[in-house]
Copies of this chain bind each other. A is one copy, B any other.
């Protein structure tokens, strides 16, 4: 998101939520009423600011003519992750695909395009998109996205303690990965909450 202020973020999220729950965007006065503005122009100003920052578009002369821009409505698909830096850095985003609330039981922060065959035994194939939630606490038994010394990998978490973490490939040709979090730099980027495969 392009440096939205706190207030702008609140308003943007409200608009997003309204579209999702009502099926159409709010008007200036609905926004004003929600946030306690005494003038619809306060909402107008915010909309203009949000448009200027590229997160939404406004159709002139059109009631409820607010649309979220691709950038802000889509969920990023992460392809190859460059070493260092955050996984959601712009250079890692291959494309974005529309949000699909209600299909998966958990929220999706990003999709990761699967490389390799280390998880085929649980039906995760190369080029599948796995849906990742960043905020669910990782636990044993979950399929997690882990970063070990700047290398990103998808495995089943089978053991986690202060001194030992075991990541298991779900493919009999591969062996468990043993990590010592005290020695190695281990970061959990998220938990896999779903899978998407496109037969084209």
Instruction: Give me the interface of A with B, judged by CB distance under 8 Å.
Output: 19, 22-25, 27, 59, 63-68, 97-98, 100-106, 120, 122-125, 128, 142-143, 192-200
Residues of chain B within 8 A (CB-CB) of A198 are 103-105, 193-194
How far apart are the CA atoms of A193 and B196 in the complex, in Å? 11
Q: A97 touching B106 by the CB < 8 A rule?
A: no
- CB–CB B102/A98 < 8 A: yes
A24 and B65 within 8 A (CB)? yes
Q: Which residue of B lies closest to A30 (CB)?
A: B62
Known interface pairs A24-B25, A123-B124; A192-B196 also in contact (CB < 8 Å): no
Output the nearest chain B residue to A193 by Cβ-Cβ distance: B199
Instruction: State the number of copies, please.
Output: 2
Contact B123 A24 (CB under 8 A): no
**Smallest Cβ distance from A2 to chain B, in angstroms?**
19
Partner of A63, one of B27, B120, B128: B27
A–B pairs, 24, beta carbons within 8 Å:
A19-B23, A23-B25, A23-B67, A23-B68, A24-B24, A24-B25, A24-B64, A24-B65, A24-B67, A27-B63, A63-B63, A97-B103, A98-B103, A100-B103, A103-B196, A105-B198, A106-B199, A123-B197, A142-B199, A193-B199, A193-B200, A194-B198, A195-B195, A195-B199
Q: How far is the CA of A22 from the CA of B59 in the complex (A)?
A: 10
A23 to B22, CA, bound (A): 11
Contact of B199 with A197 in the complex, beta carbons under 8 Å = no
